[in-house]
Chains A and B, each alone.
Chain A
């Protein structure tokens, strides 16, 4: 049951991230998958970890047509960092937590851009960090929504 809930939240996040948006809004699209991954890593670190991140990232790569392994790498790193920090993150206040999430996502967007730069063409502005900002701003509400889901379905 718990696994089903976690699985479907990831599915939903993947769908949301693949949703077509106007080009301008694309810059502000929160990184849904990263957020869901971070949440589950904080909430149930014994269930969701580095390998989960890897698989989810691979799905992202396939959906986005990115280099195979590009998102898998960033997702594994996100999972690793949030597993390192999960006890601290749990005790943070909401906005502190949101800042931390923003930083985590920012780091990974930078890694992503770095690989992009090596293989094809990357952005010439720092605007690629905007999704991290959007995720930070959205985190408190996202957190509450996910907590409701977790309690409702007794995921532990």
Chain B
């Protein structure tokens, strides 16, 4: 082994410059200052989002093999397979549009009924399609990276869904990418209602991708296995009515005030590649990034009305149970 480093022996044997300990001290102090300010102060988010632009090429590069693979799969895929897929998709489109036929009428009716009740209507959710380009390499953080950022109108706290249910919310935004905290993360909780009877609860993540926990559910609560949990809209972060999870187990523990309730997230947290960002804003580039990026403005927001999904309304029961069974 000694001979391996013969070339290095020409150089001075001991490292010169400011002493090693001093350098370490400097780094440690700097690191702690960074950590503290990142932990405590909101304005560090801006610093982070600017710095993240520097590593964005890396994030893209990580995603490159996947992109190449899917590109290759498209290029070399069998013509018949494509035709089959096409036929299947057409069939599905037909099915969906037939399901959709009465939607306009139902929406109109719902709005009329809500007007009678003097309730607000909030069904005009807009979507923006995002693509997952990175997973978290830390086993304890359940976050994904998506390819839309501030320049596309993403903002912190934005709700993210996939085709089956709620995925999570945006927690950090940079110019071109943003980070989504999944509902399965231990630091995440979402207010939900049981779709069947409107019972309110909070579903918090457990760190496992296929289980959520309902906290502080009284023993006597009317809640049973197979119940659908949808977002309640309380707290104002998630729009109401998006399916979150299906109740897995309700465990009554004698002598304890609360039941132990677990639920299985409906969204494919580990698998979905495409996600929908709800209600994108007008793109707001950071001031220092200037106006040259305004061309990105055109991309977002294929707006379309969202399925009426009101936890209390009986018709949404039909909708959602039809999707899930």
**Residues on A facing B (Cβ under 8 Å):** 11, 14-15, 17-21, 23, 26-27, 29, 43-46, 49-51, 53-54, 57-59, 62-70, 72-73, 76-77, 80, 83-84, 87, 90-94, 97, 115-116, 119-123, 128, 147, 154, 156
**A-B interface pairs (CB < 8 A), number:** 153
Q: Is the contact region of chain A dominated by helix, strand, or loop, or is it mixed?
A: helix
Q: Is the CB of B27 within 8 A of A76?
A: yes
Q: Is the contact region of chain B dominated by helix, strand, or loop, or is it mixed?
A: helix
Question: Which residue of A29, A62, A90, A91 has the most chain B CB atoms within 10 A of its CB atom?
Answer: A62
Distance to closest chain B CB from A72 (angstroms):
5
CA distance A45 to B209 in the complex (A): 43
Q: Number of contact residues on B: which range applies?
A: 35 or more
Say yes or no: is B117 at the interface (Cβ < 8 Å to chain A).
no
CA distance A123 to B172 in the complex (A): 23
Q: Is the CB of B1 within 8 A of A43?
A: no
User: Which of B8, B30, B32 touches A44 (beta carbons < 8 Å)?
Assistant: B8
* Given known A-B contacts A18-B62, A76-B31, A90-B1, A50 and B24 have beta carbons under 8 A apart: yes
CA distance A53 to B30 in the complex (A): 13
User: Which of A18, A120, A128, A154 touches B137 (beta carbons < 8 Å)?
Assistant: A18
Q: Is the CB of B23 within 8 A of A50?
A: yes
CA distance A43 to B207 in the complex (A): 40
User: Which of B28, B30, B38, B186 touches A67 (beta carbons < 8 Å)?
Assistant: B38
Q: Is the CB of B209 within 8 A of A23?
A: yes
Distance to closest chain A CB from B15 (angstroms):
5
Q: Is the CB of B30 within 8 A of A50?
A: no
The 18 sampled A-B contact pairs (Cβ below 8 Å) are A15-B62, A17-B137, A18-B62, A26-B139, A46-B12, A46-B15, A51-B23, A63-B58, A63-B59, A65-B171, A66-B141, A68-B51, A73-B32, A77-B28, A80-B20, A83-B15, A121-B140, A154-B7
